[in-house]
Amino acid sequence: MSGVIGIYSNNAVSPSLFYGLNSLQHRGQESAGMAVFNGEEILRKRAMGLVIDGFDEETLAELPGNIGIGHVRYSKAGGAHDYNIQPVMGFIGGETIAIAHDGNLVNYQLLRARLEEEGMMFQTTNDTEVILYLITRYYESDIVEAIRRTMDVIEGAYSVTALMKGQVVAFRDPSGFRPLVLGRDGDDVIVASENAPIEIIGGEMTRNVEAGEILVIDETGIHSYPYEGENRARNCIFEYVYFARNDANLDDINAYTFRRRCGEILWKEAPCDVDLVVPVPDSGIPSAIGYAQASGIPFGEGLVKNRYMGRTFIKPTQKEREMAVKLKLNPLVDVVRGKSIVLLDDSIVRGTTSRNLIHRLREAGAKEVHMRITSPPVKYSCYYGIDTPNRKNLIAANQTIREIEENIGADSLAFISLEGLASAGKKEISRYCTACFDGDYPVDPTVI
C-alpha cells in the first residue's frame, strides 16, 4: 500500500506536495518522494522514513516548479531499499517522465522477466518500473495511447500519478482496487489517493477517478479518457475497514460512516451483555461508537494509543510485532478495572495484537473481554497491494472461530458477516473486492 498525489498549480507546488503527502502518511511510512517540473526539466528528491524526516524547507526550496507528483511508500513488492523509493524516472520521447504508483501488479515477475530478456536493465525491484518501461516503450506521441497499451498488458492494482513536461497524468486500474480522487483548489488541480490532501491544501474533492479512467491535466484543463472495456469496478473493501483515513470519501462511501455502521451491524449480528464498549484505536473507534449507540452500552476509551508509531502488522518478526503492540497500545486501568468489556477491532490477521491486548486488559483488571471484529475472518492473502501475510500465517486460514477465540483468550469472539460488511457501504457485494475473506480474486493472481 502506498499513497500518491499529483498537483497542477499556478504556484510553487512543493509545499502543497509536502502537506498532501503528510496527510497520506498512514498509507506508507517507509519512504517518501517528490518530483516537480521546473519549466525545463523534472527535479526529484526522495528519502527513507516519514515525509517530515525527509523533507524540510531547504529541500522543498530545491524543488521549484508549479506541477509535481509525490509518493509515500509502504513496501510489499520490492522490499525496503532506497533504490525503490518513488517516484521512479525514465525517458519518454526525449523528455523525462516520473511515475508514482499505489498497488501491486500480479504479473510483475512475468513482465519483468520478459523485459529483461529483451535487454531492459532495471534500477529497482519494484513493479512501478515495469509500468514506466512499458509506457515509454509504447509512447509514440500520444501519452493516452501509450497508457492504454500498457493497461492492456499489466494486471492487478494500480492507481498512478505521472509527471511529464507540462502535464500531470493519472490513471486507475479497471478494477479500481486502490482509490484515486480528483479535486480543485481554484484553478489548481489535485489528484490523490484520498481526499484529505485536497482539503488540507485548501481545495475540494470534485469526484473519484473512475476505474480504468485516464486523466491528463495540462494548461488547457482536465482531459478524461474513460475505460473502453466492460465496467468491472471491484473496490478494495479493506480500504473502508482499515486503511483509509476516517475522513476519506472513496467511491461514494465515507470511511467513518462505513465503520460506524459496521459497529451497528455487529451489535445486531453479535450482541454482548457487558458494561463497556471499548475500541482498539484508531480505526476501531467509529465502529465502537456505532456498537455503543445501537446497544445503549456506554462507550469507554480503555486503551491509550502511542501516536508516534507505524502500523503493527508491518513489523517483520514475531518478537518485534509483540513489542510494537505493547508500545503502541496501553490499557487504561481506571476505565477497565472491574468491568466486563467488548473490544471492537477492525481485523484479526495473525492474532498477535488481539492476544496481547486481551491479556493486558485482563492484567489491568477487566472482568471479561469479548471481542467483535468489523471484518470477516481474513483467510486469503492479498495480491493487490495490501501486505497481508502468507496464508500459513493467517490465523483464520488455519483455525476455526472457536479455536481463535481460545487462542487469543477472549470470553467470546464474533466477526461481522460478509453481507453485513457489504451492507455497511450500501453497495452490492459484487462491487467490492472481498478476496481476502472469500478467495474470490477479481484478477487472477496465479500469473505471478
Binding region for [4Fe-4S] cluster: 236, 382, 433, 436
Task: Give, in order, the Cα–Cα distances in Å from 393 to each of 48, 313, 330, 437.
Answer: 28, 11, 25, 15
CB of 272 to ligand SF4, least distance (A): 27
Question: Taking Cα atoms as reference points, which of 28, 105, 38 lies closest to residue 65?
Answer: 38
What are residue 163's DSSP bridge partners?
98, 168
Q: Does 217 bind ligand SF4 (CB under 6 A)?
A: no
Number of residues that bind ligand SF4 (CB under 6 A): 11
Taking the C-alpha atoms of residue 299 and residue 285, their distance in angstroms, rounded to an integer, is 9
Q: Does 382 bind ligand SF4 (CB under 6 A)?
A: yes
Q: Does 386 bind ligand SF4 (CB under 6 A)?
A: yes
Q: Is 70 exposed, middle or buried (0-12, 13-18, 19+ CB in 10 A)?
A: buried
In the DSSP assignment, the letter for residue 98 is E
Question: Taking Cα atoms as reference points, which of 80, 88, 5 lies closest to residue 48?
Answer: 80
CA dihedral 20, 26, 27, 32 (to 10 degrees): 60
Instruction: Show the binding pattern over residues 160-199: x = contacts ligand SF4 (CB under 6 A), - = does not.
Output: -----------------x----------------------
Nearer to ligand SF4, 176 or 300 (CB): 176
Binding annotation:
236, 283, 345-346, 382, 433, 436
CB of 402 to ligand SF4, least distance (A): 24
Nearer to ligand SF4, 294 or 435 (CB): 435
Q: Does 443 bind ligand SF4 (CB under 6 A)?
A: no
Task: Give, in order, the Cα–Cα distances in Å from 429 to each of 207, 280, 373.
Answer: 22, 26, 19
Nearer to ligand SF4, 148 or 311 (CB): 311
CB of 250 to ligand SF4, least distance (A): 12
Question: Taking Cα atoms as reference points, which of 112, 117, 165 lies closest to residue 141?
Answer: 165
Nearer to ligand SF4, 92 or 236 (CB): 236
Q: Which stretch binds ligand SF4 (CB under 6 A): 106-114, 183-191, 330-338, 430-438?
A: 430-438
Cβ atoms 5, 193 nearer than 8 A:
yes
Query: What are the two backbone dihedrals, phi and then psi, of residue 12, each rounded to the nearest 5 degrees?
Result: -55, 130
Taking the C-alpha atoms of residue 218 and residue 244, their distance in angstroms, rounded to an integer, is 28
Q: Which stretch binds ligand SF4 (CB under 6 A): 6-14, 86-94, 390-398, 433-441?
A: 433-441
Nearer to ligand SF4, 102 or 199 (CB): 102
Cβ atoms 98, 162 nearer than 8 A:
yes
Nearer to ligand SF4, 365 or 389 (CB): 389
Q: Which of residues 231-260 bind ligand SF4 (CB under 6 A)?
A: 236-238
Give, for 327, the enclosing helix (H) or strand (E): helix 318-328
Task: Give, in order, the Cα–Cα distances in Å from 383 to each of 78, 374, 377, 398.
Answer: 13, 21, 17, 19
CA 341 to chain centre: 30
CB of 211 to ligand SF4, least distance (A): 13
Q: Which stretch binds ligand SF4 (CB under 6 A): 215-223, 326-334, 403-411, 429-437?
A: 429-437
Nearer to ligand SF4, 20 or 28 (CB): 28
What are residue 225's DSSP bridge partners?
214
Q: Which stretch binds ligand SF4 (CB under 6 A): 63-71, 115-123, 164-172, 382-390?
A: 382-390
Q: Does 415 bind ligand SF4 (CB under 6 A)?
A: no
Q: Which stretch binds ligand SF4 (CB under 6 A): 5-13, 42-50, 120-128, 230-238?
A: 230-238
Q: Does 329 bind ligand SF4 (CB under 6 A)?
A: no
Binding annotation for Mg(2+):
283, 345-346
Of 384, 394, 405, 443, which lies in the binding site for ligand SF4, with binding defined by CB under 6 A? 384
CB of 386 to ligand SF4, least distance (A): 4
Nearer to ligand SF4, 216 or 436 (CB): 436
Nearer to ligand SF4, 414 or 435 (CB): 435
Taking the C-alpha atoms of residue 266 and residue 297, their distance in angstroms, rounded to an integer, is 14
Residue found by looking up cell 524516472 in the block: 89
Q: Which amino acid is at 178?
A: R
Question: Taking Cα atoms as reference points, which of 144, 155, 162 lies closest to residue 177?
Answer: 155
Cβ atoms 279, 303 nearer than 8 A:
yes
Q: Which residues contact ligand SF4 (rule: CB under 6 A)?
A: 177, 236-238, 382, 384, 386, 433-436
